[in-house]
A and B are shown apart, each in its own frame.
Chain A
Amino acid sequence: MVTVTIDGKQIEVPEGITVLRAAQSAGINIPTLCDHPHLTPYGGCRLCLVEVEGARTLQPSCTLPVNNNMVVKTNTQKVLDARKFVLTLIFSERNHFCPYCQVSGGDCELQNAAYHENMTHWPLTPNWQPFAMDASHPYIILENNRCILCRRCVRACGELIGNYTLGFEERGAQSLLVADTGVPLGESTCISCGSCVQVCPTGALIDRWSAYRGHDEQAEQTQTICVGCSVGCGIDVFTRDNNLLRIDGNWDAPVNEGIICEIGRFKPMAEKCDRIATPMVRKNGSLKATTWNEALKVVSAELKTLKGKSDGVAAVISTRQPIEAMVNFKALFADALGNSLVTTTEEGLFTESASKLADSLGSAFEGKLTDMLEADGFMVLGTDLVHDHQVAGFFIKRVLGNGPRLLVLDSDENSLNPLANKVLQNKKGTSEDALTALSAAVVKLGLAKKASTIKASDLDSAASKTGLKSEDYLDAAFVIAGAQKPVILYEKGVSPAVLKEFAQLVGASLISVKGKANSLAAAQLGLEKPAKVGAQKALVVALGDDELSQKMIKDFEKIPFKVVIASSASPLTAMADVVLPAANWLEQEGHYLSLDGRLQKANRSLTPAAEVRPTAEILLAMAESAGVKLNSDWSEELEQRVALTEIVK
Chain B
Amino acid sequence: MGKPKISSDWMAGCAGCHMSLLDMDERLAKVVELADIRSTPITDFKVPDVSGVDVGVLEGGINNTANEEVALRMRSRCKILVALGDCAVFGGVPAMRNFFTIEESLRRAYVETESTDGSGKIPDDSELCVPTKVRSLQEVVPVDVFVPGCPPDADTIFYVLSELAQGRIPDMKGDKLDWH
Contacts and interface: CB of A to CB of B under 8 A. Distances in A.
Contacts of B147: 120
B177 A121 contact: no
Given A99-B93, A115-B177, 9 more contacts: A100-B96, A118-B172, A121-B89, A121-B90, A121-B136, A121-B148, A125-B139, A126-B95, A126-B98
Interface in A106-120: 106, 115, 118-120
Given A118-B173, A120-B146, A99 B99 contact: no
Nearest to A215: B180
B113 to A, nearest CB: 22
Interface string A183-195: 0000000000000
B146 A121 contact: yes
Interface string A48-83: 000000000000000000000000000000000000
Contacts of A119: 177
Given A126-B90, A126-B91, A121 B99 contact: no
A407 to B, nearest CB: 52
A97 interface: yes
A120 B91 CA distance: 13
Chain B interface residue bracket vs A:
20 to 34
The 9 closest A-B pairs by CB, nearest first: A120-B146, A118-B173, A105-B180, A130-B99, A121-B146, A99-B150, A128-B98, A121-B89, A120-B172
Contacts of A99: 86, 92-93, 150
Contact of A122 (B90, B92, B173): B90
A290 B28 CA distance: 62
28 contacts: A97-B86, A97-B91, A98-B86, A99-B92, A99-B93, A100-B93, A100-B96, A115-B177, A115-B178, A118-B173, A118-B174, A118-B177, A120-B89, A120-B146, A120-B147, A120-B177, A121-B83, A121-B89, A121-B138, A121-B146, A122-B90, A125-B135, A125-B136, A126-B90, A126-B95, A126-B98, A128-B133, A130-B99
B74 to A, nearest CB: 18
A30 B53 CA distance: 43
Nearest to B177: A115
A14 interface: no
Interface in B79-132: 83, 86, 89-93, 95-96, 98-99
Contacts of B172: 118, 120
A123 interface: yes
Interface of B: 83, 86, 89-93, 95-96, 98-99, 133, 135-136, 138-139, 146-148, 150, 172-174, 177-178, 180
Nearest to B172: A120
Contacts of A123: 138
Secondary structure of the A side of the interface?
loop
Chain A interface residue bracket vs B:
20 to 34
Contacts of A98: 86
Interface string A89-100: 000000101111
Nearest to B133: A128
A97 B95 CA distance: 9
Nearest to B149: A99
A648 to B, nearest CB: 43
B180 to A, nearest CB: 4
A128 B99 contact: yes
A178 to B, nearest CB: 20
A395 to B, nearest CB: 40
Contacts of B90: 97, 121-122, 126
A216 to B, nearest CB: 12
B174 to A, nearest CB: 8
